[in-house]
Amino acid sequence: MTKSEVITKLLPKRRAWPQAAATAFAPANIALCKYWGKRDAELNLPTAASLSISLGRLGSEVTLAPRAGHDRFTLNGKLLAPESSFARRAAAFLDLFRPAREFCFEVTATNTIPTAAGLASSASGFAALTLALNELLGWRLERRQLSILARLGSGSACRSLFEGFVEWHAGEKANGMDSFAEPLAARWPDLRVGLVVLSDKEKPIGSRDAMAQTRDTSPLYAVWPETVTRDLVALKEAIRRRDFTRFGEVAEGNALAMHATMLAARPSILYCLPETIEAIHSVHALRAEGCEVYFTMDAGPNLKLLFRKPDLRSIVKGFPEVRVVSPFAT
């Protein structure tokens, strides 16, 4: 099944009268139980479910307007070359939805997180783009359907349509209509996420290629889907019981299992920098001193700390550069 076939199913009658402009925001999300492996690379259908936390006001804002001639992309105030990676990926996504072949877009995006530094800016970017398209082109789709469309841009984008804890159902259907994200009802007001940016350089290998290489060559990949399935159940249970120790242990263990699986790929995929390892040791040292902090990390060298409000002071002492997010602040 192709992306266009999925879109025709969700948008059978497309209106040809766009609004003058539309702006939308979507939060970044950090996976606590990771998505790493596709059962369908065209539709970004995952091998297993995943669970994330959205980062409140940290994310992407996208404004779309119709434009004559050709698409134009501005990111964080800078006009982008059409061959830049952001412009190419966004243009390929927009191609799926143009009301007419010659229809072009003015795209203005602002990220409040470093682009391509493993802080999931592509997830918030595609989610905001999807929401802005929904407005601009008058689709009036529900969030669940928008989650399916955002997934076509980047898998983890389907989770950025929602606030708080979000589960992405793996689904079983070949057309992916049952593979969308959904928020959990649970809130955890004193939970904090600390962003420790150790490098904002572009990553050495993108998640799409890295996932395929892991699946095809890592001897550890065979046990990865069952690890995820077990960790997801444990995390949901820990969230329900507000069992922070269990929550942190499972999230940290899941991230390390993902990185171990990639590390065993041939050739090996190593996102950690020396600074990453040093920061991991600092987390462990803080924990040994009684500050309950855990970490997770994605396809990049940066750490995301998980802790609770009463430990804020110790965290800031241990990581003076940390950017603290309160995912459940109203």
Residues near ligand PMV, by CB under 6 A: 31, 34-36, 50, 120, 122-123, 154-156, 207-208, 298-299
- CA dihedral over 190, 284, 221, 298, signed as positive or negative: positive
20 φ/ψ angles, rounded to the nearest 5 degrees = -65, -40
* Location of structure tokens 């890295």: 210
Nearer to ligand PMV, 112 or 121 (CB): 121
Pairing of strands 78-79, 45-46: unpaired
DSSP 178: T
Q: What is the b/e burial string over 169-195, where b = at least 16 CB atoms within 10 angstroms of the residue's CB?
A: ebbeeebbeebbbbebeeebeebbbbb
Nearer to ligand PMV, 65 or 123 (CB): 123
Residue 64 and residue 60: Cα distance in Å, rounded? 13
Nearer to ligand PMV, 64 or 127 (CB): 127
Q: How far is the CB of 98 from ligand PMV (least distance, A)?
A: 23
Q: How far is the CB of 91 from ligand PMV (least distance, A)?
A: 18
Q: How far is the CB of 330 from ligand PMV (least distance, A)?
A: 25
Q: How far is the CB of 34 from ligand PMV (least distance, A)?
A: 4
Which residues fall within 8 angstroms of residue 177, CB to CB, at 6 or more apart? 6, 9, 148, 171
DSSP state letters, 270-327: ----HHHHHHHHHHHHHHHTT---EEE--SSS-EEEEEEGGGHHHHHHH-TT-EEE-T
Q: Tell me if 159 sits within 8 A of 29, measured CB to CB.
A: yes
Nearer to ligand PMV, 154 or 213 (CB): 154
Q: How far is the CB of 312 from ligand PMV (least distance, A)?
A: 25
Q: How far is the CB of 177 from ligand PMV (least distance, A)?
A: 19
Nearer to ligand PMV, 134 or 254 (CB): 254
Nearer to ligand PMV, 79 or 260 (CB): 260
